[in-house]
Structure 1
């Protein structure tokens, strides 16, 4: 290793304890403690879910904007969004408007909840004097299963029944949709580039679909799941008229089950692109360029397991790290064996817990534990 090694700290957030920027700062402190002569770069990262907005803003050096919107049950709410330094790219975390935490004070209403508030955020951005050229929508943590119809409603589209009347908002109205009226759609919605960050591969419908897999997390019982799945099935049939794909193709597309089926409507009606969240964030922050020439890469997430190696932060970092760089994962829990880590190309994986401790204690001390683990790892690698 060189006398002045280059170290990049690019962790995910640790839900319930530290944000990605806070984790990156703690790792950097530990690295500098062990190797004072090192050049250390903080590069907060995310997989496209909750926390992505803060990670991107930290890297870009821009501030979030707070706007008025509504939550998944149409109550007034505030949401944060952001833009890149040149203003060309805007970022929306869908869960800021349609997230489960915002409606946790009420009994679950899985068929009523909708994504209208997410669409209001997008409309706000598109109606600015200088609208963005691209909108990144980070999906995850949703309380909704409306196939993204609420977003299009907020942008001026109408989903109509056989009588020509707007259908009931939310998943409850999907089965009644007869046609989509796009005459009132905001023109800028067609002109902007949409990219949807997903961290699941579930299809729209069926046993592995949006309603069956994620509906129960949103309060859906068996009857709700059946109704929502049928509604999404029907929505795909209606949307097929707006694309060359068949309803079956839309229902089976990888990732279309994310966030209650949001991708199916935004892809067919707005030409959105569905991308793995970690890859989208990597492109947005210039991960490959940042890692060029790096000697040590410190990354991490709450739990290092088999899913970490498939489209998550750790996988993206390892994929773009230069050959020969040491890649160390610091995680709350390490569920991979040493052999599995080696096979995945990881140099080492360290748990935050220095010994027996309650979860609450570890969460309170997470930043210091990050710092200590990074110092140990860098000191060992420098030998």
Structure 2
């Protein structure tokens, strides 16, 4: 039987990945309702990670009150996958930029404590595996807040516990792991990470990502020095060197904290998601793969969903098409990376509000045209 794989990312601020896949499916079945369609909504480890994996594995979503990035209570969710063994968490749910107004962004004081509370809740369900997506954070605390929520203690040179925030790391003198939640000793932790930045220095967490989290020019050096001191204490107290590990600077040093305190493994977000979903095995006998994202541009080559999908499909010589909301530039180089063709859903000059309102209809129409053209070519 002819088989079509629908494996899009979300259209940011417009449609979740599963809704994109469903609109694409309608377009396929308008051409031929007997075509087999397999919907595999994806995420590169950032926004939509939980829902993509929960949906694809018939899992369950949980919601709870946790500590937000500024210390106020927020509502956040996490997911348990269909295997009932794997929990999935997005740190942005509890420590994300979207939880702080622009005027209140300040990485000197924001905390990852709520992310630790989500992890604790997941551990209490009895899960044996943990997937954590670490994109979109408002924090620069090296994951110390997260670790505090899990029982790890951090003290200054007077024996006082550290408070919240990246600037507090300058005071760090001692790390005590003795109170760490014992469940963490027996759990496999994989981290979806889409950047390779080191912890400190010109390409580190503070210098590269600090400004987008509200860090003023005068704050950036302070925050970088704080993470440098943080690393020195990790090296002294835990005998671990994490500063140059690719991705250790992700999410304000959360990558470094997860490695140092929990022995986590950092992986490309899209590769990790596809591994969990057994993606390659599901597509290997397909006729065609259709993927997509809201904005398709040169950044797609750096670990985004369409590039990851195309790499897997290319191994099996399966044509891969990208359906995007916005195509910003000439991207013919993508043809060398397994992408057969790319199409915008925008049919002509319409404003952004119209495009957002009509996104599902436009996705359906564009997918329909791709499928018609593809199978007409096969029949010749």
What range is the shorter-chain TM-score in? over 0.9
In structure 1, how many angstroms separate the alpha carbons of the residues matched to 2:128 and 2:59? 17
2:319 counterpart residue number: 326
- In the other structure, the counterpart of 1:297 is 289
Q: Does 1:357 align with 2:350?
A: yes
Contact 1:5 1:39 (8 Å CA) reproduced: yes
Counterpart of 2:261 (choices 254, 269, 274) is 269
Q: Which position in structure 1 is the counterpart of 2:171?
A: 176
Q: Is the 8 A contact 1:114 1:169 kept in 2?
A: yes
What is aligned with 1:308?
A: 300
Q: Match for 2:155 among 113, 136, 160?
A: 160
Distance 2:332 2:48 in 1: 31
Please tell me whether residue 44 in structure 1 is matched to residue 41 in structure 2: yes
Aligned 8 A contact 1:9 1:41 in 2: yes
- 8 Å Cα contact 2:59-2:82 kept in structure 1: yes
Normalized against structure 1, the TM-score is what?
Answer: 0.94
Aligned equivalent of 2:22: 25
- Once the 2 structures are TM-superposed, how far is the Cα of residue 336 of structure 1 from its aligned partner? 5.2
- Tell me the CA shift for residue 338 of structure 1: 5.7
Which residue of structure 1 lines up, in the alignment, with residue 222 of structure 2? 227
- The reply to whether residue 252 of structure 1 matches residue 244 of structure 2 is yes
The equivalences for 1:85-164 within 5 A come to: 85-104=82-101, 107-128=104-125, 131-164=126-159
Partners in 1 of 2:349 and 2:163 — Cα distance? 52
Distance in 1, matches of 2:207 and 2:345, equals 34
TM-score (norm 2): 0.95
**Deviations 1:215-274 (CA, angstroms, capped at 9, x unpaired):** 11111101111111111111111112355544xxx2222111111110111101210000
The partner residue of 2:73 within 64, 76, 101 is: 76
Q: 1:338 to 1:75 in 2, by over 3 A?
A: closer
Question: What residue number does 1:187 align with?
Answer: 182
1:379 counterpart residue number: 372
CA shift, 1:106, in A, is 5.8
Q: Superposition pairs for residues 279-290 of structure 1, below 5 Å?
A: 279-290=271-282
Q: Contact (CA 8 Å) 2:62, 2:79: kept in 1 or not?
A: yes
* Other structure's SS at 1:341 match: helix
Equivalent residue in structure 2 for 1:197, among 192, 201, 207: 192
Structure 2 distance, partners of 1:60, 1:199, is 22
RMSD, aligned CA? 1.5
The secondary structure found in structure 1 opposite 2:203 is coil
Distance 1:192 1:353, change over 3 A: same
- Structure 1, unpaired ranges of 5+: none
Which digits, 9 at most, give the CA deviation of each residue in 1:110-143, with x for residues without a partner? 2110100000011112133xx1111111111111
Write the distance in 2 (CA, Å) between the matches of 1:336 and 1:254: 29
CA distance, structure 1, for counterparts of residue 196 and residue 347 of structure 2:
35
Instruction: List, as ranges, runs of 4+ consecutive aligned residues in structure 1 with deviation greater than 4 Å.
Output: 242-245
Unaligned segments of structure 2, at least 5 residues: none
> Structure 1 residues 373, 331: CA separation in 2 closer, same or farther (over 3 Å shift)?
same
Measured in 1, the distance between the counterparts of 2:270 and 2:71 equals 30
